[in-house]
Amino acid sequence: MTSQRYYPDNFKHGGKSDILIYYFGQGELFFFHTKKLAMKHLTMLLPEEQTTLTTVACIIGTYEMFVEANAYNKEHKQEEVFRIELAGISKKSDFSSGMLTLKPHRNISEIAKTDLIIIPSVALEYEKTMTGNRKLIEWIKKQYKQGAEVASMCTGAYLLASTGLLDGKNCSIHWQAVNNFKTLYPQVNLKTERLITDENGIYTNGGAYSFLNLLIYLVEKYYSRPTAIYCSKSFQVEIDRQNQSIFAIFAGQKTHDDEMIKQAQVFIEGNLHDKLSVQELSLRYAIGRRNFDRRFIKATGNTPLEYVQRVKVEFAKKAFETTRKTVKEVMYELGYSNTKSFREVFRKITGITPLEYKNKYNKAAVV
């Protein structure tokens, strides 16, 4: 008889389920059990020197999301994936002047190996946070070398970047932290338009409560698409959202020390209704075009053309949010004469078209 193998419906190749497998071969019936794999370990870190309640939200949100994912799997006769633990250095941490206290399940020194580390957002005193978390930083590096994956939420990217694991890799973060982050970690490739980055077992995400989108992403990666869909519905989080550009507010980058470039920035922002030529800008400040470009990029992180476009788009966004002006009226006001060109620039910066933005943020506007 030709060998045939029969699998129960919940069997997964790779031996994740400890279940009976049987097959016929040459007229005989054979039985064996697959080996049940150990549950993975998820470590939710509790950093030191924290005061923000957003850190608490990240921790509680993570715990609830993965508990729900485990419950969904169990309900559908699949294995729970993670054992979840909150770990830190101190026995407890107080938040918001003692209004709330969190106690980790274990000290990081007691965890020899973990599979997934999640770093919550950290307080705004970033340098103080890095100084107070040296033990956590070393532990994260050690665990990553041992095969653990690491995910940071919002400003948790500061803690992750301080390990050196982000050097040369892509990273997303809250748009408000961009300038400071670039100054402290210039070797990291910031991708602020992305909601989530995923590179070599290291994950980052954008700002504030978009950490929920990262959690959904991780649930799909570690569990399954159906589990992720269920969690997105249960927690009412939009699934598959990839872009956060729509939320960014461009305020210019003026924390540098290049006074000539600062003057150019002020001029651009004061003349955004004109057609601004980069060549004319460089001539205005008596500097060669190539040297002007180089100094502008070094100071702001943008080319002069990108800076002009971002300033104009920020003006357009506010006009769409607060006035009844049509897309064409705003376009002409900013010195654009080609609808397609304006739409492409706007979409490149915000992730959506001018009309979509207008409809989203100004329901009372007449299109």
- Give 287-303 pLDDT, tens digit per residue: 999 999 999 998 888 89
pLDDT at 365: 52
> Average pLDDT of the chain?
86
pLDDT at 70: 97
- Only one residue has tokens 């020197």, namely 49
The third-level CATH classification (topology) of the domain covering 259-361 is Arc Repressor Mutant, subunit A (1.10.10)
- Asked whether the beta carbons of 62 and 215 are under 8 A apart, the reply is yes
- Give 20-60 pLDDT, tens digit per residue: 434 444 444 444 444 455 799 999 999 988 768 888 999 99
CATH number of 40-247: 3.40.50.880
- Gap between the terminal Cα atoms of the chain: 72
Mean pLDDT of 218-230: 94
Dihedrals phi, psi of 315, to nearest 5 degrees: -65, -45
Beta strands in the chain (DSSP E): 4-6, 20-25, 28-33, 40-46, 82-88, 93-95, 100-102, 106-107, 116-119, 149-152, 170-171, 189-190, 196-199, 202-205
Domain segments of the chain: what residues?
A: 4-33, 40-247, 259-361
Residue 118 has pLDDT above 90, yes or no: yes
DSSP code at position 48: S
- Only one residue has tokens 């990217």, namely 157
- Give 259-276 pLDDT, tens digit per residue: 999 999 999 999 988 888
- Between CA 336 and CA 274 the distance in angstroms is 9
Percent of the chain with pLDDT over 70: 88
| Identity of residue 189 | N
Residue 5 has pLDDT above 50, yes or no: no
pLDDT at 9: 38
Of 31-35, 66-70, 135-139, 256-260, give the lowest mean pLDDT range.
31-35
DSSP code at position 194: B
Residue 239 has pLDDT above 60, yes or no: yes
- Between CA 55 and CA 71 the distance in angstroms is 25
Confidence of residue 243 (pLDDT cuts 50, 70, 90): confident
Model confidence, pTM: 0.72
Residue 13 has pLDDT above 80, yes or no: no
DSSP string, 309-328: HHHHHHHHHHHHHH----HH
Confidence of residue 10 (pLDDT cuts 50, 70, 90): very low
Mean pLDDT of 326-336: 94
- Between CA 56 and CA 54 the distance in angstroms is 5
- Between CA 159 and CA 132 the distance in angstroms is 10
